[in-house]
DNA sequence: CTCAGATAGTTCGTGATACGTACTAGTTTA
DNA sequence: TAAACTAGTACGTATCACGAACTATCTGAG
């Protein structure tokens, strides 16, 4: 069996996972960035600014992103009690149902992908990937669990 | 040390790699899709239609993509000698230099990431990722072409 | 050989995404 | 309290992606 280079293999894996995510998101008429927005909101109630930091977007980009999600009834804006300039963005019930469904499907896809491997290699992969991310996070000084 | 779930770990790894690629591409004023276009052209001379298949895009999307790359002098269109309707897309020297530089930087990023791991785990990761991709391709091939 | 249908590519209209700039409205600070 | 700062929005621009309509070319049935 041919073995890909480390770089090629990881790059292809990355694109494969992105395609899986994009396909599942698309089934709910979500883009990747909309899916990430809803995912971030599952356990947070951030301001527009904080969302920009979590998603790596300019605040003006987030403003439009939230506007389109709000128009679909997936998120809601509420004024911040702490700061009159700020807005808190939250998931609606509809948005939460959508992201939970998409996330479950995506998890099923990845689980199915991993079932191609024998259990020992599956566990090895999980362990090595964890170490890689932890080491990278430590090196970058980045929080390990940013938004999904 | 906390261990991430398989799904979370792979998803985060995927986003990490995409961010690395996007950052390096951006340093050359390339988007991810422009980078993929140039990457595909490194060892191919496809038609617009073939590009659409390779990149997973509609031909009208490819038409615009190639037009913008051509405007920047990164690719060139030439009429196909075999079919008067077709266009062959090729890298210019400038485009080749750009993609080679970006690819080298990205490879450096991934190599640097992998250096966080001891050599044994690095090799284990490469081997398991290769098997995963090969098994996935085989499984998809079976699903897509059951008769062959 | 001919012409109806298929195919390759472009163009156009629409919408999502992303950015920077400029603006408004609150907040903080000097 | 006035100046400086910050949060968010609005606007203009560009990329990206799609589908539909269109042109040019090719192919095959007769």
**Beta strand pairing call for B75-79 and A87-91:** unpaired
* Cβ–Cβ < 8 Å for B118, A128: no
Tokens representing B20 are: 């690395």
Q: Average of pLDDT values for B9-20?
A: 94
State pLDDT tens for residues B40-99.
999 999 999 999 999 999 999 999 999 999 999 999 999 999 999 999 999 999 999 999
- Find where tokens 């491997």 sit: A117
What pLDDT does B139 receive?
A: 84
Do the beta carbons of residue A6 and residue B126 sit within 8 Å?
A: yes
Interatomic CA–C1' length for residue B60 and nucleotide C12, angstroms: 11
Which residues 76-115 in chain A show a CB within 8 A of chain B?
Answer: 106-107, 110-111, 113-114
Write out pLDDT tens, residues A25-45: 999 999 999 999 999 999 999
The Cα–Cα gap between A15 and A21 comes to 10
Taking residues A123-139, report their average pLDDT.
Answer: 92
Of A106, A126, A139, the CB nearest to B3: A126
Cβ within 8 Å, pair B116-A136: yes
Q: Which two tokens stand for residue B145?
A: 């072409």
The whole-number pLDDT of residue B2 equals 59
CB-neighbour burial class of residue A138 (10 A; exposed 0-12, middle 13-18, buried 19+): exposed
How many Cα atoms occupy the beta-carbon half-sphere of A38 within 13 Å?
27
CB B37 within 8 A of CB B51: yes
> Is A53 touching B (CB cutoff 8 A)?
no
Nearest residue on chain B to A105, alpha-carbon basis? B7
Q: Residues B13, B44: contact at Cβ < 8 Å? A: no
Cα A11 from Cα A19, distance rounded (Å): 12
Q: Which of A39, A37, A28 is nearest to A67 (CA)?
A: A37
pTM for this entry: 0.90
Establish if A58 touches chain B: CB-CB under 8 angstroms.
no
10 Å CB burial of residue B55 (0-12, 13-18, 19+) is middle
């Amino acid at each position: 069996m041919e073995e890909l280079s480390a770089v090629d293999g990881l790059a292809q894996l990355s694109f494969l996972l992105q395609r899986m995510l994009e396909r599942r998101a698309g089934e709910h008429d979500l883009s990747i960035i909309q899916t990430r927005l809803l995912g971030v909101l599952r356990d947070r109630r951030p301001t527009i600014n904080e969302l920009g930091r979590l998603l790596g977007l300019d605040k003006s980009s987030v403003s439009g992103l939230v506007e389109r999600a709000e128009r679909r009834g997936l998120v809601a804006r509420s004024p911040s009690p702490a700061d009159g300039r700020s807005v808190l963005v939250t998931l609606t019930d509809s948005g939460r149902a959508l992201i939970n469904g998409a996330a479950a499907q995506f998890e099923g896809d990845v689980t199915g992908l991993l079932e191609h491997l024998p259990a020992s290699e599956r566990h090895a992969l999980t362990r090595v990937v964890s170490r890689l991310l932890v080491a990278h996070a430590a090196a970058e000084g980045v929080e390990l669990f940013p938004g999904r």
